[in-house]
Amino acid sequence: MKFVCCVVFLLISISVMAQTEEIIAPKEIPITIEPGVELELLDWGGEGVPIMFLAGLGNTAHVYENFAHHFVENHRVYGLTRRGYGASSQPKYGYDIATLALDIKQVLDALHIDKITLIGHSIAGDEMTAFAGTYPDRIDRLIYLDAAYDRSDFVNLMRKAPYPPQAQPIMSAADSASSLTVSAYLSNMFGMKYPESEVLATRTFGKDGRLKGSVTPDHIGIKIIMGLEPPDYQSVKCPALAVYAVFNHVYELFPNYESFDQHNKLMAHQAMEVLKPYVLQQIQHFKDMVDGEQVVQFDGADHFVFLTHEREVVAELLEFLSTPN
């Protein structure tokens, strides 16, 4: 009996080790795009047609470290951290969408890549659409990860749909004790495994390991939001896949809804009443405007749909990427 147990334990250990080895730590490469401005490029390696992951606002390419390794078998896999975030430079200028799209082109030039498939989360969708319209000969495909939205009226939308103050669980002293506990806090909040490498890339920690603050000052994100324009989907001439996270219940939008007091619950429902129609309208708008589009909806998914529904999203992306262009 002991022998059988040992064999089972060994097999499980080998299986776990094999799964662990699949998570590939990317090379971190600084790419100079102009004097004094470097962008952080992550290179997961791989063979085949190149693809590049772009992060949402507030994130870096490290947010894909639990996800990108699924694609190295058939693709050369990169991730790019936009200016202002993580290890990329924080110049005083260049946070308009046109410049952020140009940054992508200059990185491709530095890598000697003629054509790329861009896979972007959230606000990266604006950069992708602008890139495809401005440099149509440099784009192979576009994949939007809850990213195909018109955010040009974002400020007014948030005024109509105010988030309750308790929208995020309060971070305790224990939660902020280290990068590992911050990662656990975020994983619990979003219902998925939040990469610790992303925590380290976006936050600063003291000598005692305790959370101090953010790498990126708030004004950079504000500059990007204020520079948004309606996406020109009609300029997109390549195949495009849009993955949407669609919430149907208030507790899907606010996971800690049950802990709210009555005032915060009322605000949560007000936000739901504004945001749900907005999402459905944006999905239809994308379908109407983009030729050769494909749309996949995940009901009850979080905005970080590629992490909360990793297996399903990977399957959709691999199928789309394998279809002849």
- The whole-angstrom separation of Cα 200 and Cα 57 is 16
Q: Is the confidence at residue 166, as pLDDT, over 80?
A: no
d(CA 262, CA 157): 23
Rounded Cα gap, residues 173 and 180, in angstroms: 13
Q: What domain range includes position 89?
A: 24-162+221-322
Query: Hey, what are 315's tokens?
Result: 């399957």
Q: What is the pLDDT of residues 15-39, one digit of tens each?
A: 333 444 457 789 999 999 999 999 9
Calpha distance 37→35 (Å, rounded) = 6
Phi, psi of 121 (to 5 degrees): -105, 140
Per-residue exposure over 124-139, b if at least 16 CB sit within 10 Å of its own CB, e if not: bbbbbbbbbbbbeebb
Q: Point out the least confidently predicted range of 82-91, 218-227, 246-255.
A: 246-255
pLDDT band at 9 (very low <50, low <70, confident <90, very high): very low
Element (DSSP H or E) covering residue 251: helix 250-253
pLDDT score, position 43: 98
What is the number of structural domains in the chain? 1
Indicate whether 178 belongs to any domain: no
What CATH number has the domain bearing residue 298? Answer: 3.40.50.1820
By percentage, how much of the chain surpasses pLDDT 70? 93
**274 three-state secondary structure:** helix
* Residue 195 is assigned to a structural domain of this protein: no
Query: Residue 98 falls within a domain, yes or no?
Result: yes
- Tokens linked to 120: 């972007």
> Is position 184 within any domain?
no
Establish if 256 belongs to a structural domain. yes
| 209 part of a folded domain | no
Q: Which pLDDT score is estimated for 188?
A: 84
**pLDDT score of 293:** 83
What's residue 8's pLDDT? 35
Task: List the one residue out of 201, 197, 190, 203 whose CA is nearest residue 67.
Answer: 197
Residue-wise pLDDT tens digits, 232-267: 999 999 999 999 999 889 888 887 888 889 998 999
Structural domain includes residue 5: no
Does residue 3 form part of some domain? no
